[in-house]
Amino acid sequence: MLSILIPTYNYLIVELVNRVHKQAITATIPFEIIIIDDCSTNKDIINANKIINGLEFCTYIQNDNNLGRTASRNILAIKAKYNLLLFLDADVLPKYNDFINRFELSINTNPKVIFGGVCYNKEKPKPDQLLRWKYGHHRETKSVEDRLQNPYTIVSSSLLIDKEVFFENNTLNSNTYGLDILFSGNLSMNNVKVKHIDNPVFHLGLESNNTFLKKSLEAVKSSYLLEKNNQIKKDLRPLQKSYLLLNKWKVDGIFCDFFKLLKKPIKSNLLSNNPSMFLFDLYRLQYFIELKNKKHV
């Protein structure tokens, strides 16, 4: 019935696998767990993760080259023997002890996409990880009611999906950050219903402030290129909608010129102990406008 699929890279996933394995056993459903190591470089973590092969219904495989999370997920889906796929990121843990049962697979006999949400620990991390943690709390941690306002705003760190629907909508396998927006956009354009439930996972892996800021700009560039190639709608993301509003009133250029005067102190804030989400939005918006105006590559 259920293929639980986990791509990993230099991350210890034994606790995650043990938890979902125990829960799947308790749920008394046919299942398998497949882990694909995307050519990790940390040998200690690789050797520690290999213990997973000793669990019943579990398979641990390794890529010969680093392909990225999106391509690894595609390989996992191909190898899956069941038609119902549960994708989990390596750096998550279920919030509830009945995580598998909460999907109600015996009742939802034909689910296409079910998203349970994401949450973060309340305790603040070390200062060098505050930007990612604060973004997660403010932008990704949402109740079912809030998520239903924009049902296609999902992240793939914990996603239950029909195999056929996955292949129809997973249209790009490049090793690029920020491709969840394309997957969500495809689901929207294809009118695939997304069911939202209260079944979040804790996102534990927090990048450094510098790393997350760089990845965020990479995600902005991905959105720009996807829009340019007509792969997503021009108003799919709040970032795009903000640009369209500024462009409509012909003040996008003025915004960029003014922003340049404040760019250094804004960046300093984002890397500080108290990063502002408002300034974070402005920082990404300015980069998106520069890309649209072809002033930045």
Which DSSP symbol is given to 101? G
Task: List the structure tokens of 77.
Answer: 């889906």
Query: For all residues of the chain together, what is the average pLDDT?
Result: 92
Nearest CA among 28, 165, 152, 6 for reference residue 83: 165
Question: Measured on CA atoms in the order 207, 149, 117, 68, is the torsion positive or negative?
Answer: negative
* Confidence label for 137 from pLDDT (cuts 50, 70 and 90): very high
pLDDT digits (tens, 9 = 90+) for 80-111: 999 999 999 999 999 999 999 999 887 766 66
CA 219 distance to own-chain centroid: 11
- Distance from C-alpha of 102 to C-alpha of 100, rounded to nearest angstrom: 5
Written out in words, the top-level CATH class of the domain with range 2-117+154-205 is alpha beta
Beta carbons within 10 angstroms of residue 164's beta carbon? 10
* pLDDT over threshold 60, residue 296: no
- CB-CB contact of 85 with 77 (8 Å): yes
Range(s) within the chain of domains with CATH label 3.90.550.10:
2-117+154-205
